[in-house]
Amino acid sequence: MKKGLILLLLTIVFVGCKPKQDVTNTKLDKSSQVLSKGTWTISSVTYPGSDYIKVTSFDIADSKCFVGSTWKFISNNNKGEMTLNNASCTSFSSPITWYINKDGNFVMKIINETKAKKVAEGFILTVANQTETTFQLIDKANVGGKSIDVVYQFQRN
């Protein structure tokens, strides 16, 4: 019985990921964007089964590597930067473009060395519990055929 359970857990560990999505709604929620302006740090990443399941975030790294990452949002031109600096993970830094639409979605493109116009796909997350000092971005990931919420908790620096 133990052998079967271990095999099942090993099978689940590598299943969680989320594909890039096409972006359509571009009507901005300016008040939410202005509230997001500044430099933020992800203080936690949580989701059901996180002790056993790995989720790759933004096609970059394991979601736990985003804890401690720094994000800069500039609201007047919808640009910014994200930097992964978790000591136990590979470092990563990239410019981003972003906006919050009227549907309450945070829409982001990772630019790297490409111009934003040439990046056709991005990521869509839900903005939740937004205050002047904290907010959450909630992503959907498919793990073993089930949709789970991956919650990124942001703290203002």
Per-residue model confidence as pLDDT tens digits over 50-72:
888 889 999 999 999 999 999 99
Per-residue model confidence as pLDDT tens digits over 61-115:
999 999 999 999 998 999 999 999 999 999 999 999 999 999 999 999 998 766 5
Average pLDDT over residues 118-126: 81
Asked if 47 and 137 touch (Cβ cutoff 8 Å), the reply is no
Q: Give me the pLDDT at residue 115, please.
A: 59
41 phi and psi, to 5 degrees? Answer: -130, 140
Instruction: Tally Cβ neighbours within 10 Å of residue 118.
Output: 8
